Structure 1
């Protein structure tokens, strides 16, 4: 038995901190569900970056979502200090009994000290000094050897304090909201696309070295259209991503519904939920599709599918046979182009799509 387990029955409020990117934040969603399931009386809050808040807002297990705006640093020292003070005041008034810190960000260590939280758990990071080691009451080890999916790594923080998740509690949770779902149905109807009558393709990633060559994506879409599939394409409102989509779609005839740069995170989730299938890269939209239980075909290159693959959803994960992958580099030799992705043929992706569409 775990000798230093934390008795949740004696706690009132918990703060879960995940200051990372969109997909990382979504992969923490089971942590909130498990806490609430095991201790329904708890109020569980989240602290995330403001631009990622929609990944967790409306989550039924979360009481409040607090945010840090990355733009505070650009607003001058006085405004930044003022904004930080307001956040700290809000957190102080919540009187947390437990902090679960899910990254190596130093803010979590500072908050456990400043807020005077009795119980706290974070990653064990041997390279960190005394300040980190003395900031938390509990530490969970990071996996050694075989990679571990990040959902399970996040849940390890709960296992370390004596909370053991059941298999049924580990699902991703993302709630678009009824109004957003209704709006997406209207937009699809205007485009002449039926629910469950299209394939959702998100060809880009915020890291372009994780993307398939544009020519191969064009060939894939053309082949799918020739097979009679309707295609809806999305991308973030980022200049590089929008340029990539223009290059992909330019050689094609009419028929693709292009929603690139037009959707919020909640709208993207609602769209994915209505699709027959999602095709994309290792990216936040891939995790969003998995959270919406939409079957996923995903291409992995320099990043690791064991840690970041689609979670608990029908899937086909396509990788090359390169012995050097997953390397984690920004393209081969740091050249921004990942040859392992280019080695994945259009025919393999088409076969993967067909296999998933045949599943009942």
Structure 2
């Protein structure tokens, strides 16, 4: 089993750097475990992603990138699966002494790869998880069924419950999670005024209570929604400095409305009904993989551009401005959550 029919005992996986991509990679990591049930599997991640995936049951050890070099070298890994496309990730796998190194030959890094993966279609035209599975295919690993999942430690579920209890939201009949910002940049952020209209309708027409998820960079959006909501007792904000406790709060929701963000992927992997609003990015590449998801996206001549900020000279962020609150509400109806 594995490259050239060898029986591999030690496997090192380079996980993605972004929250959303890390969640997308979970079925891929699970597939490696299913194909190598007895192998020692290590996972290399940046610190933030390591915290996110610390409950993952499919790996034996998580290594922190740039911190655990000596520990990785000591293990003498036989097979390396490199999910990221940077030059540095391929170079590090070579430097760490990983014998077989499989990945895409991007950024002139083919010199450091033992097996080079060739895309079956152009980049970003198929879902990212399929791009990951092509790496496994080149490594001789059979593709498994793609079932999104996410693991929240019990301690974080308890913290989430206590957070809701403190806010007086623990016994509400229906909670809607709203993620109105995006770390990526404004080219992913639907106008806050339209989020407000959707929130007010959810409160008035569906008697929903609202949990707003937003980090320090989204405080202006969060505060705007809290200040202008028609029922101040039906809306509250949730801290996102602890991503796993935030995931525990998401799990309490019956609906999650979001821009194209990391929390979008977490919510979908938890099985929540998710309505996702896309701007400059292509949902064909990174749409949420859950069973009950609805994507709203405007395909314009200028997109998908993948820019963080709009470079148009006239009507900026047209891809987002053309999405109306009525379209979003129609999408909510399609999810049949009420």
Same fold? TM cut 0.5:
yes
Match of 2:5 in 1: 7
Match of 1:158 in 2: 136
1:181 Cα deviation after fit? 0.9
- Aligned with 1:254 (options 229, 232, 238): 232
1:331 Cα deviation after fit? 3.7
Match of 2:251 in 1: 273
Match of 1:345 in 2: 324
State the distance in 2 between where 1:113 and 1:263 align: 34
Q: Confirm or deny: 8 A CA contact 1:99 1:120 kept in the other structure.
A: yes
Match of 1:102 in 2: 83
The unaligned stretches of length 5 or more in structure 2 are none
Is residue 285 from structure 1 mapped to residue 266 from structure 2 by the alignment? no
State the distance in 1 between where 2:224 and 2:236 align: 13
State the distance in 2 between where 1:316 and 1:262 align: 24
State the distance in 2 between where 1:262 and 1:358 align: 25
The unaligned stretches of length 5 or more in structure 1 are 69-83
Q: CA RMSD in A?
A: 2.3
State the distance in 1 between where 2:244 and 2:59 align: 17
Match of 2:117 in 1: 140
1:281-325 CA distances to partner (integer Å, 9 max, x unpaired)?
A: 000000010111111100011101000100132111001253332
- Aligned with 1:242 (options 188, 212, 219): 219
Aligned pairs for 1:94-243 within 5 A: 94-125=75-106, 128=108, 132-145=109-122, 147-167=125-145, 170-190=146-166, 191-194=168-171, 197-206=174-183, 207-227=185-205, 228-236=207-215, 238=216, 240-243=217-220
State the distance in 1 between where 2:238 and 2:187 align: 19
DSSP 3-state at the match of 1:332? coil
Query: How many aligned residue pairs are there?
Result: 332
Q: Confirm or deny: 8 A CA contact 2:19 2:49 kept in the other structure.
A: yes
TM-score under structure 1 length normalisation: 0.85
1:204 Cα deviation after fit? 0.7
Match of 1:58 in 2: 55
- Aligned with 1:36 (options 20, 33, 37): 33
State the distance in 2 between where 1:272 and 1:154 align: 26
Closer, same or farther: CA 113–309 of 1 in aligned 2, 3 Å: same
Q: Confirm or deny: 8 A CA contact 1:25 1:48 kept in the other structure.
A: no
State the distance in 2 between where 1:264 and 1:225 align: 27
TM-score under structure 2 length normalisation: 0.91
Match of 2:70 in 1: 89
DSSP 3-state at the match of 2:210? strand
Closer, same or farther: CA 285–18 of 1 in aligned 2, 3 Å: same
